[in-house]
Every structure is written in structure tokens, then in C-alpha cells.
Amino acid sequence: MPLKRIFKNKRKYAALPTEKAKQDIPEGLVEKCQQCSKIFYEKEWKNNLHVCPSCGTHHKMTARERIASLIDEGSFQEWDAELKTTNPLNFPEYEQKLIQDQEKTGLNDAIVTGRGKINKNDVVLVVMDPFFRMASMGGVVGEKIARALERAKDSQLPVIIFTASGGARMQEGMISLMQMAKTAMAVDRFDQAGGCLIVVMTNPTTGGVTASFASIGDYHFAEPNALIGFAGRRIIEQTIREKLPDDFQTAEFQLEQGQIDRIVKRSELKQLLTTVLDLHTVGGDHS
């Protein structure tokens, strides 16, 4: 649907009056936009890919939802789903936290990788899941990214990485930090082999992820208003002792600063990716 109509608010949405919804609708059937507080039927919300039909806010998606929204039906083969961390530093309370999030998300760690087709284009997909430990990068995340890039290199497939991350997985200490090195090196090997890497930054992309594989792709796209940056807002404000503008570290800010190529709405993402992939595979008339 055209977004300008949404903003002009001409169309009647199935948005429900807040009070009535609270009273009449059983929980789980409605979804409330955290931005504008409007309430929608769960089904409508999902059909709209977690983008608020009223204010246009792009809310977080799980990795599986993301993949389902892009991939030709039945074409996705997942890789390394069984990889699980072993709490390498024996960090207190880490295992309980992992189990909690494993139960919550049905994933073993904060990332899903595999290959599939987007409008018939073969691709490798690497998708971080912000609902698992805020998609922080520990050994499993780094390992799965490195393996996916190596396989893509060997089978000469383009790679699309969806980033969403709070940064490092603190409980894995230096193993976590060194995943920055490992993933950046894997990107480099893929790049040297001529591979095409598309990075789509989603809310939030921060810390060590921004300072490694997320920032060295061939094409950098971002979803509207996604938080993208290296240091956290609070720590910057503490350091410089001033308040930062509201739009600081948004996708729009990064576009203006020259750090990303384009902002793309979720509703237009599949088409954009398809076109970019096509432009890398289709030969001209002369060939």
C-alpha cells in the first residue's frame, strides 16, 4: 500500500479504540504499536510485516519471520541450526539466560543462516534475531557468519546479511570480541573471491557488529529509523556531557553522514533486493 496515504490517514484502518480493545479482545489477538499506541489485529499486524499501519514504525521481526517474508516458498535450507554455545568462560548465570531465550525463540543462538531463493535468485541469507540475547555476537553467531560466508564463496552465491545487534556477547568475553576479527576476515575472503555482499541494517545495529562485518559490505541498506551506531547514546552523552539530538544514530542520520547507501521500507525490501540481485546476474544484450 502507498505509504503517503498512511501518513495522510485517509484510509480507515482496523485500528481499534484502545479502551474497547483492552476490554473486549482476548490477549494475543491484538498488537499494540509501541510508538503511536494504536492497537491492531494480530493478523493485520503480521500481514504488514510488523510495520505499524498507522505511524509506519518498523518494529522488530524474528529471524524466521524475516526469512519467510523474503524467500520463495519452500526454498530455504537452513545451515548449522544445531550449533550451541558451551559457556566457554563459565560465566555466572549465562546458561540460564541462554535456556530462557532458547525457549522463547526456538533458536539455539541469535542467528539463522542458510540458502534459498528470492524471486528465483539463489542467495545465502544470514539473519540475526533481536529477540535472542538482543542478537549479541558470541562464538556461535561469529561461527555461523564465517561458515555461511565461506560456503557462499565456494558456491559463488551472493550473501544478504540482516544485522540487528546490541553488540558483543559480554558473557563470552574476549571470544566475543574476537568474532569481530573472525567475521571481518571471512567478509574479506568472500570479497577477495569476488562475492557480492548486501548488508541490511535493522533496528538496532550497534557496537562490535557495526565495527565489523556490518560495515564492510558492498551495499549497505537500512530500514527506516533503525538505530545504527558504534557507541551507545548514554555513554556518549556521559562522555561529552551534552544531550544528543533525537535523530542521532538513526538510519536517516547515517544516510546523511554517508555511512549507508539507501534507506528501504520493509514493504519495498524484497523488490529492491531482487533488482540488485538481478543486476548482478543478468548479462546484457551484447553477451
Partner 1 sequence: MKQFLDFEKPIFELKDKITELKQMAEDSELDLAEDIHRLETRLVNLEENIYQHLSAWDRVQIARHPERPTALDYIDHLFTDFIELHGDRLFRDDPAIITGIASYKGQPVTVIAQQRGKNTKENIYRNFASAHPEGYRKALRQMKLAEKFNRPIISFIDTKGAHPGKGAEERGQGEAIARNLKEMAQLRVPSLSIVIGEGGSGGALGIGLTDQIYMLENSIYSVISPEGAASILWKDATKAKEAAQSLKLNAKDLKQLDIIDDIIPEPKGGAHRDFQMQAAYLDVHIKKSIKYLQSLPLEQLIERRWQKYKKIGEIQN
Q: Do the beta carbons of residue 67 and residue 60 sit within 8 Å? A: no
What is d(CA 112, CA 128) in angstroms, rounded to the nearest whole number?
6
**Could you tell which of partner 1, Zn ion, none binds residue 15, using a CB distance below 5 to 8 A set by kind?**
none
Helix/strand number for the chain, H first, E second: 11, 10
Ramachandran angles phi, psi of 168, nearest 5°: -80, 155
Going by C-alpha positions, the residue among 122, 5, 108, 88 that lies closest to residue 53 is 5
Q: For residue 220, what are the β-bridge partners?
A: 199
β-strands 197-206, 219-222 pairing: parallel
Residue 55 or residue 83: which is nearer to Zn ion going by CB?
55
Residue 123 or residue 228: which is nearer to partner 1 going by CB?
228
Report, in Å, the least distance between residue 35 CB and partner 1.
23
Sign of torsion over alpha carbons 188, 207, 172, 64:
negative
Q: Please tell me whether residue 263 binds partner 1 under the rule CB under 8 A.
A: no
Q: Judged by CB under 8 A, which of 15, 16, 21, 178 binds partner 1?
A: 178
* Residue 49 DSSP SS3: coil
Footprint on residues 213-232 left by partner 1 (CB under 8 A): 213-216, 229-232
Q: List the x/- string, 26-55, binding to partner 1 by CB under 8 A.
A: ------------------------------
Q: Please tell me whether residue 173 binds partner 1 under the rule CB under 8 A.
A: yes
Q: Please tell me whether residue 36 binds Zn ion under the rule CB under 5 A.
A: yes
Footprint on residues 43-82 left by Zn ion (CB under 5 A): 52, 54-55, 57
Q: Judged by CB under 8 A, which of 15, 175, 263, 272 binds partner 1?
A: 175
Q: Judged by CB under 8 A, which of 18, 34, 244, 281 binds partner 1?
A: 244
Q: Do the beta carbons of residue 124 and residue 159 sit within 8 Å? A: yes
Q: For residue 200, what are the β-bridge partners?
A: 162, 221
Q: Do the beta carbons of residue 177 and residue 217 sit within 8 Å? A: no
Report, in Å, the least distance between residue 97 CB and partner 1.
10
**Could you tell which of partner 1, Zn ion, none binds residue 25, using a CB distance below 5 to 8 A set by kind?**
none
Residue 30 or residue 168: which is nearer to partner 1 going by CB?
168
141: DSSP letter: H
Report, in Å, the least distance between residue 257 CB and partner 1.
5
Interface segment toward partner 1; rule CB under 8 A; list 29-37, 60-68, 167-175, 265-273: 167-175
Q: For residue 51, what are the β-bridge partners?
A: 58
Q: Judged by CB under 8 A, which of 177, 255, 263, 272 binds partner 1?
A: 177
Residue 54 or residue 136: which is nearer to partner 1 going by CB?
136
Q: Do the beta carbons of residue 110 and residue 60 sit within 8 Å? A: no
What is d(CA 46, CA 65) in angstroms, rounded to the nearest whole number?
9
Q: Do the beta carbons of residue 30 and residue 39 sit within 8 Å? A: yes
Per CB under 8 A, residues contacting partner 1 are 82-86, 88-89, 91-93, 138-140, 142-143, 146, 168, 170, 172-182, 184-189, 191-192, 207-208, 210-216, 229-232, 235-236, 239-240, 244, 248-249, 257-259
